[in-house]
Amino acid sequence: MTKDFTIENVKAGDMLTASKSGKPVLKWVVLSNDRKDDLMGKYTEVYVMLNRCWAGMESDERHSFYHATFKSGAYQKLEWRLESGT
């Protein structure tokens, strides 16, 4: 679960790390967090630094996810940590 931050407040340059059972499974550098589309709302773009093929995610270098999706479901089954890029 995210405890130290909300996804709406991350900034370009921040690093998000997701762990499961204490082992990192995802590591992203935030590229932008101010994008929006008419269908699903706001989303965050990230650059994938580490992807252990968790939850069927593709291993592309760039990835984006909607704020609403991040706040529920499989993302919140992981332990998240934010490292500020500033």
Given this model, what pLDDT does residue 22 score? 86
pTM to 2 decimals?
Answer: 0.80
Q: What is the pLDDT of residues 37-80, one digit of tens each?
A: 888 889 999 998 888 765 555 556 888 889 988 888 888 888 99
Per-residue pLDDT, averaged over 4-15, amounts to 91
Read off φ and ψ for residue 64, nearest 5 degrees. Answer: -140, 150
Given this model, what pLDDT does residue 50 score? 82
Q: What is the pLDDT of residues 13-40, one digit of tens each?
A: 999 999 988 888 889 999 999 888 888 8
